[in-house]
Amino acid sequence: MKLVTRFEAAALPTKELRGLYRQAFNAQALALPGTQNHQDALASMHNIEAELALRPPCGP
């Protein structure tokens, strides 16, 4: 999985970020621990979570 940076995450709409988060979650679940793919997926999840935390919650 390609690393999603904080800068990239900030430029994306919330709906797209949630989809990328799902992709990153699945990628880290399938990757072998310690591999670059696993590390990139975990870092992407962290970056996406941080960006989503800055945004107001979605409707009901």
pLDDT at 46: 98
pLDDT at 57: 83
Please state, in angstroms and rounded to a whole number, the distance separating the CA atoms of residues 16 and 48.
10
End-to-end Cα spacing for the chain: 32
For residue range 1-60, what is the model confidence (pLDDT) as tens digits?
A: 899 999 999 999 999 999 999 999 999 999 999 999 999 999 999 999 999 999 988 755
pLDDT at 14: 95
Strands of the chain (E only): list them.
none
pLDDT at 1: 86
pLDDT at 4: 97
